[in-house]
């Protein structure tokens, strides 16, 4: 294959994108499962792959250095994912607070074995923020922050 030398560059790019895509609710990875999730991340990693390949091709790197680079990119992806997911978590927690004040979560407080708390207003606020992000800024701004 002629593009096999780009494989390490794509893997380094995927190491940063995976944690961000899993943590940030705007990518909807709670609903996308299996092979489609991996394909979406790989396609997103194809965009910075030529730049990563140019840097990696400039010098000879060992497998240990590449694995260290992948670990560093994964740690950076976790950090960016947490920072980018905080506004979504904030709006969801405000909705959970409103649901708690109106008594929608009273059953879960009295009987914890009912299962996880489902906050309708929190879910609505999170979906509203995702909609506003896509309608006003677009996902391109979010992906540019990740790359």
pLDDT at residue number 76: 93
With a cut of 70, list the residues of the chain below it in pLDDT.
Answer: 1-2, 108-109, 114-117
pLDDT at residue number 47: 87
pLDDT at residue number 83: 92
pLDDT at residue number 82: 93
pLDDT at residue number 78: 93
Asked whether 96 and 41 are in contact (CB, 8 A), the reply is no
Q: Using DSSP, state whether 147 is helix, strand or coil.
A: coil
Cα–Cα separations (whole angstroms), residue 77 to 15, 41, 110: 7, 13, 38
Alpha carbons within 13 angstroms on the beta-carbon side of residue 44 total: 23
119, exposed or middle or buried, with CB in 10 Å at 0-12, 13-18, 19+? Answer: buried
Q: What is the pTM of this model?
A: 0.81
pLDDT at residue number 116: 66
- Whole-angstrom Cα Rg for the chain: 19
Asked whether 75 and 47 are in contact (CB, 8 A), the reply is no
Residues 6+ apart with CB under 8 A from 110: none
Longest CA span, the chain: 62
The structure tokens listed for 139 are 């996902």
């Amino acid at each position: 294959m002629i593009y096999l030398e780009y494989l390490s560059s794509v893997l380094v790019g995927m190491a940063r994108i995976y944690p961000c895509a899993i943590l940030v609710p705007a990518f909807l990875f709670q609903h996308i499962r299996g092979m489609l999730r991996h394909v979406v991340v790989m396609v997103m990693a194809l965009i910075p792959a030529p730049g990563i390949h140019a840097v990696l091709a400039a010098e000879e790197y060992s497998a240990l250095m590449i694995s260290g680079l992948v670990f560093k990119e994964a740690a950076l992806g976790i950090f960016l994912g947490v920072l980018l997911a905080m506004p979504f978590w904030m709006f969801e927690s405000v909705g959970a607070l409103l649901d708690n004040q109106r008594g929608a979560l009273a059953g879960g407080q009295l009987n914890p074995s009912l299962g996880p708390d489902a906050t309708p207003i929190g879910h609505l606020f999170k979906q509203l923020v995702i909609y506003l992000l896509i309608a006003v800024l677009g996902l391109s701004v979010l992906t540019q922050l990740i790359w």
